[in-house]
Amino acid sequence: MTKKILSHKEAALKEINRKFGGNSVKEQEIKYLQALKKFSVNTFEASRYLSIYDPRARICGLRAKGYNIKTIWETIEAENGVKHRIGCYILSSGESHE
C-alpha cells in the first residue's frame, strides 16, 4: 500500500481542523478564517480538509462580520472525473478583526 504524501497546503488545513476542532457555526468560521489567513481556500478544500459542510454559508457569515473575502471561480475535477465549477475564496490582505 502506498502512503499518500500530503501537499503542504493539505497538511496545514488538516492541522487547522485538528487545532480548531468542533462543528458549531462559530468554530467553523474560526477554522475557515485561520485557513484564509494562510491560503486561498476553495469550497472543496474547506469541506474535505476543514470539515465544513457548507463552506458558502461560513463565507457569508464572515463577510457579514466585515471580512473582505473575494471569490474567484475555478474548475476542479473530482475523483470520479466529473468537472465542477467552484468558488475559491481569498481574504484581502491586511484583514484582521481580532
Please report whether residue 1 resides in a domain: no
- Segment 5-27, tens digit of pLDDT: 569 999 999 999 999 988 999 99
Backbone angles phi, psi at 72, to 5 degrees: -120, 150
Placement of cell 458549531 in the chain? 24
The dihedral formed by the CA atoms of 22, 24, 26 and 30, expressed in degrees to the nearest 10: 30
45 in any annotated domain: yes
C-alpha cell at 97: 478583526
* Assigned domain for 75 exists: yes
CA distance 10 to 1: 20
Q: Would 96 be classed as within a structural domain?
A: no
Structural domain includes residue 15: yes
- Is residue 83 included in any domain, yes or no? yes
Contact status, residue 65 vs residue 36, Cβ threshold 8 Å: no
Give the pLDDT confidence of 42-62 residue by residue, as tens digits: 999 999 999 999 999 999 999
Query: What domain range is 55 assigned to?
Result: 8-91
Region for residue 97 given its phi and psi (left: phi exceeds 0; alpha: psi -120 to 50; beta: otherwise):
alpha
Say if 98 falls within a structural domain: no
Q: How confident is the model at residue 2 (pLDDT cuts 50, 70, 90)?
A: very low
- The number of distinct structural domains making up the chain is 1
pTM for this model (two decimals): 0.84
Residue 2 in any domain: the answer is: no
